[in-house]
Amino acid sequence: MITPKPLSQYPWYARLLFWKQKKTYGQVLEPGLLWGRSPFVFAAVALLYGALNRRSSPLSPALRSLVTVRVSQINHCAFCVDINAATLVKRGVPLEKIGALADWRACAAFDADERLALDYAEAMTITGKGADEELRRRLRDRWDEDTIVELTGLIAFQNLSSKFNAALDVPAQGFCVWKGK
């Protein structure tokens, strides 16, 4: 297991990001401490996350969070499911819907946009599946190219993040009371 360093051993700009995490989440996030072992990469990852999670995104906040939780489930990232499910609750999605996310195809609670985004997230995340021409056509029928690029970037980022955390066995930090798979 990789362990975090004492905070004083991280460069000043990484400590600024930790301060922001503590202000936002009430604690420094363990993945940040691990990414912080490579400070320039950590800064780049933080900037990319900020770009994808901005208010002006063409994707609704709830849809972005649904996608990140589903990708996290597939990649078995306990930390990511925990923090992203907590964000999903803050964005107004009921716990029952979050609980049905792993089996979203069988649940009527998901609307057409959510189903399309989740289908795409699974196609990008499940090894060997991939996005076929029919799925790309459905995406183009629903969203403009900029939105599709944004969704693709979000899914790719969440795969990076959740695979990093799962590989290093980063545990949940107790953000969400829901304990989904």
Give exposure, 8-45, as e/b (b: 16+ Cβ within 10 Å). eebeeebbebbeebeeeeeebbbbbbbbbeebeebbeb
Residues in the chain, how many? 181
What is the average pLDDT across 112-136? 97
- Under CATH, domain 61-167 is a member of which superfamily? AhpD-like (1.20.1290.10)
When pLDDT is cut at 50, 70 and 90, the band that residue 1 belongs to is confident
Write the pLDDT tens digit of every residue in 76-123. Answer: 999 999 999 999 999 999 989 999 999 999 999 999 999 999 999 999
Query: Residue 181 has what pLDDT?
Result: 46
DSSP string, 99-162: HTGGGGGG-TTS-HHHHHHHHHHHHHHSTTT---HHHHHHHHHHS-HHHHHHHHHHHHHHHHHH
Residues 6+ away with beta carbon under 8 Å from 179: none
Tens digit of each residue's pLDDT (9 = 90 or more) over 20-77: 999 999 999 999 999 999 999 999 999 999 999 999 999 999 999 999 999 999 999 9
pLDDT at residue 130 in the model: 94
81 touches 72 (CB < 8 A)? yes
User: Rounded to whole angstroms, how far apart are CA atoms 62 and 10?
Assistant: 33
Name residue 107's amino acid: C
d(CA 154, CA 67): 8
Locate CATH 1.20.1290.10 in the chain: 61-167
Tell me: pLDDT of 135 over 50.
yes
- How many other CB atoms are found less than 10 A from the CB of residue 114? 20
pLDDT score for 67:
98
